[in-house]
Chains A and B, each alone.
Chain A
């Protein structure tokens, strides 16, 4: 939208002055685009510089003995550890387990919170009754529940998925419900005046009208699901990156711990970016 406007606004005066000087002077629009690109390049280069500097500093400090590489590891040790783990085939399965568990609990969170927030929207009385419970459950530190989940559900995937869900689900219900309520009440009246039912009001107005909020909540939720899954894996797993971190710290293989943490960073970034791409696609499709 913005570059469009710029073009129409700024092209006109340029035409006259451009005729006087047919040299290689840039038009305002070209200049604008160039500046825009330069800005992006600048940001990207700074990001890379920081990353490379950090790695270099880390490697050099470990190499020169400024930090003890047994405790603090080093990029080369991380790379070696990663390669070793790949060779004995365990790393990929650990990553796969964590990815699978996170995705599953994320999808379940979406499903559950959509279902429950829809119910709350349908019945104002129900939402009024349940409000204090939701608030308490949302502010409760979910890691406090993890030991209970182990006793109730055993040590295994079930516990980890429930732990992953527990971190995100209550906040997500509240956000969805708030989103539903922010939809213009007159738009709902409009549906009624056109002879629609409450169901129509939900599917034709409330739900499509709150898609932007649903998407931004989803972006937060995928990160929270990862947090929950790692908490679960700390306590109740034989596989997954969370397990690898705990195991590594117990046998004092801090290379393994740090390698896992770095992989978690990459996973978190990947998740965020994928949801962002999906969000972008949906917004483009519905021209929002």
Chain B
């Protein structure tokens, strides 16, 4: 598969009066169509900065991101960004929350709204369309946030520790659930996580960043023998522990 995005020698520093903090240095990797990439690394190493750069919210100080669309066009892939918390607005109903992106882009067209309807039905939220976010469970909120992101039909989804606000049990189910839905929608995804098990169970490829300034320490392709499709299947795969140990080694042998 061809790379749709190619990051080349990305570097970024934060500046303050006390000096310069180098966050990212010489980061290079490619993103293939339909691939799930997990980025792991010690906390504060600049994972979120990297995601903001890919999303176009920050401009890299060094390096380039090369676009390589299959159809040869040069437009940057449409990005869907999911933040740590769902950030559904309490003053809007669930329906008005999931259509927020369309509203902001003046794209409340018939086809788009029909697509939203389908997602609401598929994700079991159509009964809750007129409820307020506080009336939803944690998992339903994440699903609503996913619909809000998917409504804009992004090609590349960026998830910045999207499940870290959930309790452990909910998190196991929601992360598997959301990733299954994204895979079913045929999207490409980059997820940041500090949970190694989550990274191994969700991703096709794991990129390990070092501590500050972050460089790509390792790229690991994950291949698991899956017994079934349950959220825990990946964690019970025979290769799981091996990958886990390998990542653990990388992250702990930091100094």
Contact = CB atoms under 8 A, between A and B. Distances in A.
Contacts of B152: 194-195
Interface string B133-153: 000000000000000110010
Given A195-B101, A286-B91, A288-B91, A190 B132 contact: no
A205 B57 contact: no
A187 B85 CA distance: 9
Given A192-B57, A193-B57, A195-B105, A186 B100 contact: no
B125 to A, nearest CB: 18
Interface string B84-96: 1101011100000
Nearest to B131: A287
Given A184-B87, A195-B152, A286-B91, A189 B104 contact: no
A187 B148 contact: no
29 contacts: A184-B87, A186-B85, A186-B87, A187-B87, A189-B83, A190-B81, A190-B83, A191-B104, A193-B55, A193-B79, A193-B81, A194-B101, A194-B104, A194-B105, A194-B149, A195-B105, A195-B152, A204-B100, A204-B103, A204-B104, A205-B89, A208-B91, A209-B89, A211-B91, A286-B91, A287-B90, A287-B91, A287-B132, A288-B90
Contacts of A189: 57, 83
Contacts of A141: none
Nearest to A211: B91
A196 interface: yes
Contacts of B81: 190, 193-194
Interface residues of B, number: 21
Interface in B28-67: 55, 57
B89 A208 contact: yes
B95 to A, nearest CB: 14
Interface in A184-238: 184, 186-187, 189-196, 200, 204-205, 208-209, 211
Contacts of A200: 104
Contact of B91 (A190, A195, A196, A209): A209
Contact of B100 (A192, A194, A209): A194
A205 B100 CA distance: 11
Interface of B: 55, 57, 79-81, 83-85, 87, 89-91, 100-101, 103-105, 132, 148-149, 152
Contact of B104 (A195, A209, A211, A288): A195
Interface residues of A, number: 20
A208 B152 CA distance: 23
A208 B93 CA distance: 13
Contact of B83 (A193, A205, A288): A193
B196 to A, nearest CB: 25
B96 to A, nearest CB: 10
B104 A196 contact: yes
Nearest to A285: B91
A186 B57 contact: no
B55 A186 contact: no
A191 B85 CA distance: 14
B39 to A, nearest CB: 17
Given A193-B79, A195-B104, 17 more contacts: A184-B87, A186-B83, A186-B84, A187-B87, A189-B57, A190-B81, A190-B83, A194-B101, A194-B149, A195-B152, A204-B89, A204-B100, A205-B89, A208-B89, A208-B91, A211-B91, A287-B132
A234 to B, nearest CB: 43
B101 A187 contact: no
A221 B72 CA distance: 61
A193 to B, nearest CB: 4
Contacts of A190: 81, 83, 87
Nearest to A188: B87
Contacts of B149: 194
A143 to B, nearest CB: 39
A34 to B, nearest CB: 30
Nearest to A208: B91
